[in-house]
Amino acid sequence: MRRWGVFARISKPGDKVNTSQPRKIASTTAIYAGSFDPITNGHLDLIQRGSRLFDRLIVSILRNERKEPLFAVEERTEMLREVVGEYPNVEVDSFDGLLVDYAAARSATVLLRGIRAISDYEYELQMALMNRRLRPEIETVFLMANEAYSFISSRLVKEVFSLGGDIAGLAPPLVEARMRGRIAKFAHKGA
């Protein structure tokens, strides 16, 4: 393959390559979906890396009425927008229903997923295969978690924080401050 900036032409050995007619590489939109309740530094690591890999990255919050979130979707959207503001090709949204239907509606061709451990892979593989069955034109791309964040999950951060543990370095300071405010609000109601 020969590249000229955003242009590419695939050639085989022995082919005559016409450099006057390069083909434009299609822009790639990816979706990184999750609950983001709360946003962790592991999420931010994947967002930062995904922003380098794809032309457009949509970070989308799943609206899941079955779970009792710490933060409302609107609060998570606001926090995400604040912490990803430095990435011009990243936008924040929310959705409900099937992820692949949402991806198709947003013209995304890639689903970005993070893998922390082998247990994540087993679950994510099942989801990726089902998504491929539903929408074969949408690919799933897995990124291995940065080793510094490979043990972090939103659930674990919430649990440690609620028990008085230190979560510095596990979540952005903005998120930690909002969590402190949320816990203080609940403590006031109980008093």
Residues marked active site are found at: 43, 67, 116, 154
CA 76 to chain centre: 13
Terminal C-alpha separation, the chain: 68
Residue the block writes with tokens 């939109």: 29
3-state secondary structure 132-173: HHHCCCCEEEEEECCHHHCCCCHHHHHHHHHCCCCCECCECH
Cis peptide before 13 (omega within 30 of 0): no
Query: Coil, strand, or helix at residue 57?
Result: strand
Q: What angle do CA 62, 121, 158 make, to 5 degrees?
A: 50
Q: What angle do CA 83, 109, 130 make, to 5 degrees?
A: 100
